[in-house]
Amino acid sequence: MLQEDHPNQPLRILHLEDSDLDHELVRRALHKAGEPCTLERVETLEEFGQRVQAFNFDVILADYRLPGFTALDAWHILQQQARHPPFILLSGAIGEPAAVSAIKTGISDYLAKDDLSRLAQVIRRAIEVHSIRQAKELADIELALSEKRLADFAEHLQTTIEQERAAIAREIHDDIGGALAAAKFDLSWIGRHTADAATQGHVTAANEMLQHALDASQRIMMNLRPAILDQGLVAAVQWLAGDFTKRTGIETTVHAFHEEDSLSKAVQLVAYRTTQEALTNISKHANANHVTIDLSNAGSVLTLEVKDNGQGLLQTELKKPTSFGIRGLHERAKTVGGWLDVSTQRNMGTSIILSVPLLVPRPDTKQGAD
C-alpha cells in the first residue's frame, strides 16, 4: 500500500543513486523540510529491480546517469509492476529537453540536484498527482465494467423479449387462431343449413367479424414473431412497408439490394426490428406523408436507412430520459456489432440509419421495389 493510504506513516523512499554525497544531500534536504521518511539507497539496476519487487515504496528518486545504465532503464523495470509509485528524476546531468522527453514517457517529475530545497514539495505533488491518476484509472475500469454489464444485460433482455414474443405468437396461433378458425367453420355450416334470411344476415356479419379477428391475430403474430424473415430480410422489409402503408395511408418506397446470400438470423432480426420501430415512431410522431427505406450491403456493411419527410425532432427530444425506443435500437444494434445514427431537422424529417459490418463481402447489386 502507498503512503497516501496511511498518511501518518513516514514516506518510504527508494533512492537510485551511485554518489554517497548526493544521497546524503537528499537526506538532509528532506530532514530540513521536516518530511518524516525512511530513505533507502540502491546503486545498480539489479538491486533496483529486486527492491521494487520485494517492497512497496511511496516514491522513487533516481539519478539520470548511473554506471552502465540510465534512469529510463529503471523506469522500464518499474512499469512491469502492476502498481508502481511515482518516479522522480533527481539529476544534474540532464538537460531540460531530455527531462521533458522523459516525463512524456510517464515519469512523474524532474528536479535538478542544485534545487533540493524544493524536493519535499515536488515529492508531495508527485504523490498527489499519482493518486489522482490512479483514482481516475480505477474509475475508468469500473465504468468500462459497468458499461459491459449493462450491454450484456441489454442483450440478455432483448433475447428474452424475443423468446417471449415467439411463445405468445405460438399461443395465439395454436389457441386463439385455432378457435377462431373452428368458429368460422361452424358458422359456415350454419349458413349452409338454414334458409332464414335473418339468420343468414347474422351469419354473414359474424363471419366478417371473425375474419377481422383472424386478420388481427395474423398481424399480431407477425409483429411478435416475424415468420416472414424465413423468406429473407428484403421480403420482410417490403412486407413491413406494405402493411405500414395499408394501415396509415403513408406512401412508402423501398430500395433494396438483390439478396443472394443469406444474412445471419441475428442481423436480420435487428434490421427488421429497427425498421418496425422506426415506422411505429413515424406513424405516432412524424406527421409525414412519405417514407423511404434504403437497404444495401455495399462495402461489406449492411446499411438500413428509414427516412421520412415529417416534422423532425428536437435534439432535446432525442436525449430525453424517456426516449426508450431510440435508446433500445442503439442497444439492439450493439448486439450484432453494429451502430445506429439518428439525424433530424425541424420540419425537414428524420433519418434513422443502422450499420452492421458483415464478415463476408456481398455484391452491391440494387433493385427497386415498392
227-369 sits in which CATH class? alpha beta
pLDDT of residue 128: 93
Give the C-alpha separation, 212 to 205, whole Å.
Answer: 11
> Rounded to the nearest 10 degrees, what angle do helices 197-224 and 119-171 cross at?
150
What is the DSSP annotation of 163-185? HHHHHHHHHIIIIIIHHHHHHHH
**Is the pLDDT assigned to residue 8 strictly greater than 70?**
no
pLDDT of residue 1: 41
pLDDT of residue 368: 41
Give the largest CA-CA distance in the chain.
Answer: 123
pLDDT of residue 159: 76
Structure confidence by residue, pLDDT tens digits, 144-161: 888 888 877 877 777 787
Residues of the chain with pLDDT > 90, as a percent, come to 41
**Is the pLDDT assigned to residue 77 strictly greater than 50?**
yes
**285-301 mean pLDDT:** 91
Residue scoring higher pLDDT (302 or 265): 302
Whether residue 344 contacts residue 351, with contact meaning beta carbons closer than 8 Å, is answered with yes
Give the C-alpha separation, 317 to 320, whole Å.
Answer: 5
If we measure between CA atoms, which residue out of 143, 113, 153 comes closest to residue 26? 113
**Is the pLDDT assigned to residue 365 strictly greater than 50?**
no
pLDDT of residue 7: 55
Domain positions in the chain are 3-139, 227-369
Q: Is 60 helix (H, G, I), strand (E, B) or coil?
A: strand
DSSP single-letter state for residue 68 = T
Give the C-alpha separation, 355 to 274, whole Å.
Answer: 11
Alpha carbon distances (Å) from 132 to 12, 13, 137: 19, 19, 9
Q: Predicted confidence band at 260 (pLDDT cuts at 50, 70, 90)?
A: low
Q: Predicted confidence band at 246 (pLDDT cuts at 50, 70, 90)?
A: very high
**242-258 mean pLDDT:** 91
Return the C-alpha cell found at 227.
415468420
**Is the pLDDT assigned to residue 361 strictly greater than 70?**
no
Residue scoring higher pLDDT (13 or 158): 13
Q: Predicted confidence band at 370 (pLDDT cuts at 50, 70, 90)?
A: very low
**Is the pLDDT assigned to residue 369 strictly greater than 60?**
no
Q: Which residues of 292-312 are buried (b: 16+ CB within 10 A; e: fewer)?
A: bbbbbbeeeebbbbbbbbbbb
Q: Predicted confidence band at 244 (pLDDT cuts at 50, 70, 90)?
A: very high
Which range has highest mean pLDDT (122-131, 158-167, 180-189)?
A: 122-131
**Is the pLDDT assigned to residue 133 strictly greater than 80?**
yes
Give the C-alpha separation, 368 to 370, whole Å.
Answer: 7
**Is the pLDDT assigned to residue 171 strictly greater than 80?**
yes
Structure confidence by residue, pLDDT tens digits, 175-221: 888 888 888 888 889 888 888 888 888 888 988 898 888 888 877 87
Amino acid at 31: H
Whether residue 291 contacts residue 250, with contact meaning beta carbons closer than 8 Å, is answered with yes
**32-55 mean pLDDT:** 92
Structure confidence by residue, pLDDT tens digits, 306-338: 999 999 876 666 666 556 677 788 888 988 899
pLDDT of residue 315: 66
Mean confidence (pLDDT) of the chain = 85
**Is the pLDDT assigned to residue 258 strictly greater than 80?**
no
Residue scoring higher pLDDT (263 or 357): 357
**Is the pLDDT assigned to residue 228 strictly greater than 70?**
yes
Residues of the chain with pLDDT > 70, as a percent, come to 91
Which CATH number does 3-139 carry?
3.40.50.2300
Q: Predicted confidence band at 43 (pLDDT cuts at 50, 70, 90)?
A: very high
If we measure between CA atoms, which residue out of 277, 158, 295, 143 comes closest to residue 233? 295
**330-352 mean pLDDT:** 89
Whether residue 57 contacts residue 83, with contact meaning beta carbons closer than 8 Å, is answered with no
pLDDT of residue 295: 93
Say which residues have a Cβ less than 8 Å from residue 213's Cβ, sequence separation at least 6: 180
